[in-house]
Amino acid sequence: MQEANENKELCSVQLGQKIKDFSFSTYNPVTDSFEEHSFSEYGLLRKWIILYFYPADFTFVCPTELADIGKYCKQLKDMNVEIISISTDSKFTHLAWCKAERLLSSINFQMASDTTGEIAQFFGVYDKEAGTALRGTFIINPDSVLVGSEINFYNVGRNAAELMRKMQAYVYVEKHPHQACPAAWKEGEAALTPSEDMVGRVADFMTNKQD
């Protein structure tokens, strides 16, 4: 029973649910300054959020991931998407890491601090024993609803190109709520419009859309 309660505490939000409004400190590499933000302010601006948990500053896989996703920052901003990277490090450690690590020299998104691990616990990625977060990626829509999640263990980095593809798909279906994006869908390709005529005949519809 105790173990069940602990698991419930560690994973408080599920896909399709609204996220809790947390406030957090950040280091902004663009302005080289510390800032205070909350999830609700992004909702008020009708922005999407990519919340990008990583284990720790001054580690090895983490800077490669942040540099990778940073390559898509401008495209994502043009789609009304904000990237927020987040770890249990302090904002001061974020600053020092950015100054020291050349891979981070061109990143231009907020680096949030979750020193208590409270936000990581809410999203179910907190490693209590290590005091760090797993590699968790969460996509939050403008209504503050969690619509996408991916969690990797410490020793495998993520692919920002695939995250970009999924983000384009989420934005597309928000604008076209009666449609759905099939596997490996890419921007500009035809989507599916589910109907009774399509049941058991998806291959036929896919072929027709490609002709």
Integer Cα distance of 185 and 188 in angstroms = 9
Note whether 160 and 71 are within 8 A (CB): yes
Q: Model-level pTM?
A: 0.90
Element (H, E) at 78: helix 73-78
Kindly report, residue by residue over 104-160, the tens digit of the pLDDT: 999 999 999 999 999 999 999 999 999 999 999 999 999 999 999 999 999 999 999
The residues spanned by each domain of the chain are: 2-158
Burial class (CB in 10 A: 0-12, 13-18, 19+), 188: exposed
Spatial contact of 120 and 88, defined as CB atoms under 8 Å apart: yes
**Nearest alpha-carbon partner for 57 in 103, 13, 21, 126:** 103
DSSP 47: -
The pLDDT-based confidence of 70 (bands split at 50, 70, 90) is very high
Residue 6 pLDDT greater than 80, yes or no: no
Residue pLDDT, tens place only, 17-36 = 999 999 999 999 999 999 99
Cβ atoms of 27 and 109 within 8 Å: the answer is: no
Distance CA 35, CA 31 (A): 10
Share of the chain above pLDDT 70, in %: 93
pLDDT digits (tens, 9 = 90+) for 38-64: 999 999 999 999 999 999 999 999 999
What is the C-alpha separation between 124 and 44, in angstroms, rounded? 25
- The angle formed by the CA atoms of residues 122, 125 and 129, to the nearest 5 degrees, is 105
| 11: enclosing H helix or E strand | none
Q: What span, in angstroms and rounded, lies between the C-alpha atoms of 198 and 200?
A: 6
At 77, list the tokens.
């901003």
- The closest of 97, 94, 144, 154 to 122, measured between CA atoms, is 144
Catalytic residue annotation: 62
Class of the CATH-defined domain 2-158:
alpha beta
Cβ neighbours for 161, distance < 8 A, ≥ 6 positions apart: 72
pLDDT of residue 3: 40
